[in-house]
Amino acid sequence: MAKTGSRVTIKDLASICNVSTATVSRVLNHIKGGYSGETEARILRAAEEMGYAPNPMARSLVTRKTSLVAVLVPDIHYYFFQEFFAGLEEYLNDYGYRLLLCNTQEDSGQEELFIRGLCNGLVDGIIVSTLNNREQNELLVELDREHFPIITLERYGEDLEDLCCVQIDNFKTGRMAVDYLYSQGHRRIAFIKGRREAKNAEIRYQGYLAGLKKNGLEPDESIVRYGDYSFASATKAMEELLEEGGFTALIAANDLMTLGACKAITKAGRRIPGDISVLGLDRTILTDTHEPSIVAIDFCAHEIGHTVGKCMMAMINNQPLEQKVILQNPVFHNGKSIRLIQR
Amino acid sequence: MAKTGSRVTIKDLASICNVSTATVSRVLNHIKGGYSGETEARILRAAEEMGYAPNPMARSLVTRKTSLVAVLVPDIHYYFFQEFFAGLEEYLNDYGYRLLLCNTQEDSGQEELFIRGLCNGLVDGIIVSTLNNREQNELLVELDREHFPIITLERYGEDLEDLCCVQIDNFKTGRMAVDYLYSQGHRRIAFIKGRREAKNAEIRYQGYLAGLKKNGLEPDESIVRYGDYSFASATKAMEELLEEGGFTALIAANDLMTLGACKAITKAGRRIPGDISVLGLDRTILTDTHEPSIVAIDFCAHEIGHTVGKCMMAMINNQPLEQKVILQNPVFHNGKSIRLIQR
DNA sequence: TCCATTTAAGTAAACGTTTACTCAAAGGAC
DNA sequence: GTCCTTTGAGTAAACGTTTACTTAAATGGA
């Protein structure tokens, strides 16, 4: 039976098989030529029998590749990331890559520490999905210039010019939401925005405004509120809106806020969708399992994970990154990757 | 400004400071003695100026420590893991450790591959939180015997004897659930179990039975159903139960099933908790945000993460593992770590 | 002053791989 | 038979650290 935590090295194999470590290495790495079929079989058999497993550190030291990719997230609790991780990990695993999880807890200092600690040989690439931060952008751009693979997810800013930025089409999302509700007969559509500092939240709102305009509706600030992406903030916002009145539908900028708003609506004795139609941006399991069922626009976190993984592997392998151009503009377009989920 | 993706090594520092690499290493690692204060300052300043960062691979190669811990989960989508990861990562980070995320997708073959690939130098320890699997247990025990740090979460089996097993007090959880509902006046309490193969699900059920007995209630198989921890399975189970009737309260074995059951109840026009009281085992954000609000027992995933992290650090540092004894029996006891959450 | 101890280093091996380079033997073309 | 090419290896350096061992100078005690 093969040993596990074994200390058997390439040298052991070499001496047992009466060959040099170079030959063993060539055989084990399936490098063409440099050994006969007989030698190959002998080495392979010995490796199998002794339960040889290469030491990743030693290998990495010379190849300068670690088969590790780090992903930085501001708060692991967002359900979006769960699906994102699944997709990302799935993709990377197919290439023998492993995922390093870094939860920065929205702490920008922590974040920079993470990045500096990781970029120096521990990982082959870093995926950054955190709040914007001017100073940090500099660091990212600098690393990118040194050809260290960096991919940002949902970051916005002119100073990120040369970076590979994977972005959700927040604008279209907001517009689609209005389109959908308009098509259902709604003419007065309230909106709960995301946090003030979040660029993507702002873009979703711009999409909403564009949607109104496109459908000939007048924007009305009195039925728009800020939230902070949290459940409670949306409940509060919705309570205010209900007092204000004058709308038949609501768009909430993320999943938690969608549920928070629903709570306020139900508490107020109004029915969904009878009295008020609710449409959530960002479909997750939270919106999936909600009763009454609600319509949500899917950002396809799992697919985004795949896409990011694909870009990362391309960058690591110095392959031309076709996606780059597309990704700098919003990645996910209508029919293909944004879908309306209605249960 | 400090360089980032830099290639500056300890040798560079040594030659610039006119010292040997040994001295640089000693200074940088704050090893007592072996250099003067002046030399120390000179080296530290040079390191700072040149933006030196140690190469983790080179270091790991000689120290045989990587500051990496892997965690294997069957399905990353369980919300429990999100809080667990947060707690675990938080704890490990304080010790300079990073978390490697391995989603095995319930594939036992995948799992073994992961473990074998990781244990040979990539990580300093592995946390296994996956379904039971006899053959795999052997591998785990073998690694443990070789003093490779292994911790299992929610695994059960006599063949795991010497392993460090962190377990939830599933039995007590089930019993407490009944106690609570009994105290609210319920005398007929239905139960939706977890998947047949899951040992912990069975234990929760045993706890439920014990709770009934303790309170002088007769168990009744007709108001017990199997689910598979999924939303849909509980909806289906609940539909059956509602047809059956004869109960005023329900316990569901996890968060998703709690919500699934609620859906069926609401759909059937019954009110929660007016007509049927629902108590969920495993409080997560899913149960937190549910309308109407439901009672749930908190497994304290975040704290479990901390505990597991603590055990792991102890094992890695060869410290006496006091927790071990406690952990082999259920870890989390009543007042301290299991709490009733009612919003 | 002499010896023992402490201080402040340096030397070099080791960790386990990969890989550029070398080299001898064999094979093939003529 | 000679020369060139291919095959099947081996040698040794390199990757960037850590660390056991050595060493020379300084310090201190008597």
What digits encode the pLDDT tens for the residues B42-94?
A: 999 999 999 999 999 999 999 999 999 999 999 999 999 999 999 999 999 99
Range with the poorest average pLDDT among A116-125, A246-255, A263-272, B148-157: B148-157
Residue of higher predicted confidence among B17 and A335: B17
Q: What is the mean pLDDT of residues A59-80?
A: 95
Smallest Cβ distance to A57: which of B53, B60, B289? Answer: B60
Name every chain B residue with its beta carbon within 8 A of the beta carbon of A83: 77
Question: If you write DSSP's letter for every residue of B312-334 in order, what string do you get?
Answer: HHHHHTT---THHHHHHS-S--H
Give B292→chain A minimum CA distance, Å: 8
Residue of higher predicted confidence among A102 and B200: A102
Residue A234 — very low, low, confident or very high, per pLDDT cuts 50/70/90? very high
User: Do A327 and A311 form a contact (C-beta atoms < 8 A)?
Assistant: yes
Identify the residue among A28, A48, A57 best suited for mutation to test binding to B, counting B beta carbons within 10 A and taking the highest. A57
According to CATH, the topology of domain A64-168+302-333 is Rossmann fold (3.40.50)
| d(CA A96, C1' D24) / Å | 52
The pLDDT score that the predictor gives to residue B322 is 55
As annotated, the residues of chain A forming the CATH 3.40.50.2300 domain(s) are 64-168+302-333, 170-298
Three-class DSSP category at A279: strand
Mean pLDDT over each residue of chain A, to the nearest integer: 87
Taking an 8 Å cut-off on Cβ atoms, the answer to whether A76 and B86 are in contact is yes
Taking an 8 Å cut-off on Cβ atoms, the answer to whether B58 and A54 are in contact is no
Contacts of A238 (CB under 8 A, 6+ apart): A192, A225, A250, A260, A261, A263, A264, A265
Smallest Cβ distance to A85: which of B89, B101, B143? Answer: B101
Q: In this structure, is the CB of residue A54 within 7 Å of any atom belonging to strand C?
A: yes
| d(CA B57, C1' C1) / Å | 53
User: pLDDT above 90 covers what percent of chain A?
Assistant: 62
Return the ∠ at Cα A300 (arms to A127 and A189), rounded to 5°: 115
Structure tokens at B16: 């610039």
Beta carbons within 10 angstroms of residue A34's beta carbon: 12
| Number of CB pairs, chain A paired with chain B, less than 8 A apart | 158
Name every chain B residue with its beta carbon within 8 A of the beta carbon of A288: 231
Taking an 8 Å cut-off on Cβ atoms, the answer to whether B76 and A98 are in contact is no
State which residue has its Cα closest to the C1' atom of C15.
B62
Q: Point out the nucleotide closest to B12 (alpha carbon to C1′).
A: D16
Smallest Cβ distance to A266: which of B83, B288, B291? Answer: B291
The pLDDT score that the predictor gives to residue A6 is 53
Name every chain A residue with its beta carbon within 8 A of the beta carbon of B79: 79, 82, 285
Please check the confidence at residue A336 and state whether its pLDDT lies above 80.
no
Three-class DSSP category at A191: strand
Q: Point out the nucleotide closest to A14 (alpha carbon to C1′).
A: D10
Identify the residue among A139, A289, A343 best suited for mutation to test binding to B, counting B beta carbons within 10 A and taking the highest. A289
Architecture of domain B170-298: 3-Layer(aba) Sandwich (3.40)
Give B258→chain A minimum CA distance, Å: 10
Q: Point out the nucleotide closest to B59 (alpha carbon to C1′).
A: D17
Q: In this structure, is the CB of residue B15 within 7 Å of any atom belonging to strand C?
A: no
Residue A328 — very low, low, confident or very high, per pLDDT cuts 50/70/90? very low
Name every chain A residue with its beta carbon within 8 A of the beta carbon of B267: 291
Taking an 8 Å cut-off on Cβ atoms, the answer to whether A98 and B103 are in contact is no
Residue A68 — very low, low, confident or very high, per pLDDT cuts 50/70/90? very high
Taking an 8 Å cut-off on Cβ atoms, the answer to whether A148 and B4 are in contact is yes
**Secondary structure of B25-72 in HEC code, one letter for each residue:** HHHHCCCCCCCCHHHHHHHHHHHHHHCCCCCHHHHHHHHCCCCEEEEE
Beta carbons within 10 angstroms of residue B199's beta carbon: 16
| d(CA B334, C1' C2) / Å | 73
| d(CA A20, C1' D11) / Å | 9
Give A183→chain B minimum CA distance, Å: 27
The pLDDT score that the predictor gives to residue A303 is 86
Where are the extended beta strands (E) located within chain B?
A: 68-73, 98-103, 125-128, 150-153, 164-166, 189-193, 224-226, 249-252, 277-281, 295-298, 339-341
| d(CA A45, C1' D9) / Å | 19
Strand C nucleotides within a 7 Å radius of protein CB atoms: 7-20
Please check the confidence at residue A338 and state whether its pLDDT lies above 50.
no
Please check the confidence at residue A305 and state whether its pLDDT lies above 60.
yes
Q: Nearest 5°: phi and psi at A339?
A: -130, 155
Cis peptide preceding A273, ω within 30 of 0:
yes
> Chain A residue with minimal CA distance to B302?
A77
Given a cut of 50, the residues of chain B with pLDDT beneath it are: 1-5, 323-343
CATH of domain B66-168+302-333: 3.40.50.2300
Smallest Cβ distance to B120: which of A55, A100, A289? Answer: A55
Name every chain A residue with its beta carbon within 8 A of the beta carbon of B90: 103, 105
As annotated, the residues of chain B forming the CATH 3.40.50.2300 domain(s) are 66-168+302-333, 170-298
Q: In this structure, is the CB of residue A60 within 7 Å of any atom belonging to strand C?
A: no
Residues β-bridged to residue B279: B251, B295
The pLDDT score that the predictor gives to residue B336 is 31
Taking an 8 Å cut-off on Cβ atoms, the answer to whether B146 and A5 are in contact is yes
Please check the confidence at residue A249 and state whether its pLDDT lies above 80.
yes
Q: Kindly report, residue by residue over A167-199, the tens digit of the pLDDT.
A: 888 888 899 899 989 999 999 999 999 988 888
Q: How far apart are CA A167 and CA B166, in angstroms?
A: 40
Q: How far apart are CA B147 and CA B164, in angstroms?
A: 12
The pLDDT score that the predictor gives to residue A130 is 77
